[in-house]
Amino acid sequence: MTAPLRSPEPIVVNVGLAERAYDIVIGRGLLATLGPRLAAMRPGSKAAIVTDETVARHHLEATEEVLKAAGVTSSRVVVPAGESTKSFHPLQQVCDAIIAARIERGDLVIALGGGVVGDLAGFAAAVVRRGVDYVQVPTTLLAQVDSSVGGKTAINTGHGKNLVGAFYQPILVIADTALLDTLPEREFRAGYAEVVKYGLLGDREFFEWLEINWQDVFKGGLARGNHPAPREYAVLKSVQAKGEIVARDEHEHGDRMLLNLGHTFGHAFEAAAGFSDRLLHGEAIGLGMALAFEFSARRGLLPKAEAERAIRHLAAVGLPTHVSDVPGPQPGIDTLMDLISQDKKVKRGKLTFILARGIGAAFVERDVDAGEVRAFLEEKLLA
């Protein structure tokens, strides 16, 4: 599934979706290859680059230059940074800008940014002219290991996160790990929550590797012989895991639900915090995973010590693991339960959670009793 692990050679992971298959290319300095890759894939095409104000300051001009050098004409669509941009009005603005730039079905949309930009630009690409090809150039760790892979595109509504969207696969993902050098530590830590998620849900060996090597992932340690550098290896293992699950279950009818470990609890707290800087998405997922493991232990699904080990690692890297770790006023229990009831995995009004029988052994639990969840959360809110 991957190219040989020779650093600094780029690592290529193919997401096997038949006619919708695409490559994820991982390595340092890959932004410089974007123009030649697109010129080869779509000769004569134009591109609309969708990005946010923060990413634009760091990477937009360089992106435009590499496209121009390869003969790819581009236009820019710059949106405000932040989760609030993933909503109806900004979506309309992005769609209008893409149409105004005369992007046709044979052209491209480039999502240059983190998860917000990727979700927003991908959704716009899915609906403009009933579908324009798009490319993900993720600039955050969270986007490189999670949101850029798998074709989930969406915006938020007042009822919850990612409730309006489409499954729409990119044609290419360029995960340039050098772009992470400008990422604030808090944002990197939030992205790490999605990295460790893959170990917690299905790969105990990877989790144990992260327990030992997480600091080198944060620092960007060097390659060791023929083995990729720790940061590139963490991205590789993450996208391999997600790519394999997506190839089996593109539209989230089965195994793909496992990727939502921590998300049912996490999304509720994120929405209750107003999708604000009080609680970043990755921080919410870290909290959600801690709660999911504790809830699993409470139900007797795994030993308490196993849950404590998972939570201890999340806390060690600086992610929130207790409700009291979230700054500001705590949400009310009715608010949380209402948000949980709007989760995308709810079927016929029945709650579905991703729980665990151990580290690396997550599973889908349907028909979870709402009263049991309520009692658990009430205890956490009082702790």
Torsions phi, psi for 165 (to 5 deg): -175, -165
pLDDT (0 to 100) of residue 168: 97
Final residue before a domain boundary, out of 162, 181, 200: 181
- Check residue 177 and give its pLDDT: 95
Which residue(s) pair with 47 in the sheet?
74, 108
Closest CA to 140 of 103, 178, 171, 109: 178
Distance CA(108)–CA(377), nearest Å, equals 45
Kindly state whether residues 105 and 157 are assigned to the same domain. yes
pLDDT at 166 over 90: yes
The residue range of the domain holding 257 is 186-382
Indicate whether 330 and 262 sit together in one domain: yes
Q: What is the mean pLDDT of the chain?
A: 94
1: in domain = no
Q: Which of 178, 190, 237 is CA-nearest to residue 213?
A: 237
Query: For the chain, how many structural domains are there in total?
Result: 2
> For residues 290 and 81, what is the distance between their CA atoms, to the nearest angstrom?
28
Judged against a pLDDT cut of 80, whether residue 241 lies above it is answered with yes
Is pLDDT at 214 greater than 70 in this prediction?
yes
Q: Per the domain annotation, does 5 fall within a domain?
A: no
Checking if the pLDDT of 6 tops 60, the result is no
pLDDT at position 226, please?
67
- What percent of the chain has a predicted confidence (pLDDT) above 70? 96
198 pLDDT higher than 50 = yes
* Enzyme catalytic residues: 130, 152, 194, 242, 252, 256, 260, 263, 267, 281
- Asked if residue 3 has pLDDT above 70, the reply is no
227 shares a domain with 283: yes
What is the structure's pLDDT at 1? 40
Task: Determine the average pLDDT of the residues in 349-372.
Answer: 94
At 180 the pLDDT is: 95
Residue 225 confidence (pLDDT):
63
Confidence of residue 314 (pLDDT cuts 50, 70, 90): very high
Residues 225 and 149 in one domain: no
Taking residues 270-280, report their average pLDDT.
93
pLDDT tens digits, 133-164: 999 999 999 999 999 999 999 999 988 889 99
CA distance 341 to 219: 39
Position 8 scores a pLDDT of: 63
Mean pLDDT of 320-339: 96
Name the amino acid, one letter, at 372: E
Q: Does residue 2 belong to any structural domain of this protein?
A: no
Question: In this structure, are 214 and 293 located in the same domain?
Answer: yes
Same domain, 307 and 365: yes
Average pLDDT estimate for 220-235? 82
Mean pLDDT over residues 162-178, rounded?
Answer: 96
101 and 242 together in one domain: no
pLDDT at 43 over 70: yes
Average pLDDT for 287-310: 98
Q: Are residues 286 and 339 in the same domain?
A: yes
